[in-house]
Structures are given as structure tokens and as C-alpha cells.
Amino acid sequence: MMNNTIILETYRKEIPIEPSVDFVVNLIVKDRPIIEYFGIELDNEADYVSREMLQKISLTTIITINFESRDEINYNTYTPDEVYDLICKYFSFTMESKIKIDSDGKDITINF
């Protein structure tokens, strides 16, 4: 299995401490956050947070999505629409009880 990560960024939102799957899907589908990263799973925040990103982090909501795939993904071939479709497929085909969503009230981490 391959471990993958997608990092999305949108303008600052008030996020419930325990957001529902519906809340997160609506946020992603309606707001179409910017795709900041799509690649292998990151071990360290410093690997993907640039200086510029640190400056604007208080003004944004970051959505980090971690998921496994059977095969290696050629990340560079995906268009933004295909990345959003991939996210929606994972939400559609994963039992809700298997989706782990964490929030600090500002940012969200999703693990499939």
C-alpha cells in the first residue's frame, strides 16, 4: 500500500471540534480549496510549510487528507478536478465509521 497526502487551503473558517463527514465534504465541494500539496505522505510539517505559508497560516484553514492506495499514484498527471474527484470517491467508498476526522477548531485532518 502507498501512503498519500493531499493538503488543501481555504480562507479561515470556524470548524467544529468534531466535524461531521457531511460538513467536511460540503466544505471541500462548495469552497473548492486550493490544492497546496498532492503527493507522498509527509512525516514532518516542516517538509511542506514554506515561510510564506507560515505568515498566512492564521488567516487560513488547512485540510490535510491522508489515504492509502494499492498502486503508486502519478501525482503530476492529475488535474485539480481529478484531485477533487479522488477526494469525493474516498468519502463515497469508505464507511463513515472508518473515516477519522480531527479538528482543532481551525484546521482539519482526515485519515482514510
The reported pTM is 0.88
Q: Side chain identity at 7, as an amino acid letter?
A: I
Q: What is the pLDDT of residue 33?
A: 96
- Give the residue with greater pLDDT, 80 vs 52: 80
Overall domain count for the chain: 1
Q: Which domain holds residue 106?
A: 2-111
Q: What is the pLDDT of residue 55?
A: 73
Query: What would the mean pLDDT of 69-82 be, rounded to a whole number?
Result: 96
Q: What is the pLDDT of residue 47?
A: 58
Rounded CA-CA distance 15/42 in Å is 23
**Residue 108 in grid coordinates:** 482539519
Query: What would the mean pLDDT of 5-28 be, rounded to a whole number?
Result: 94
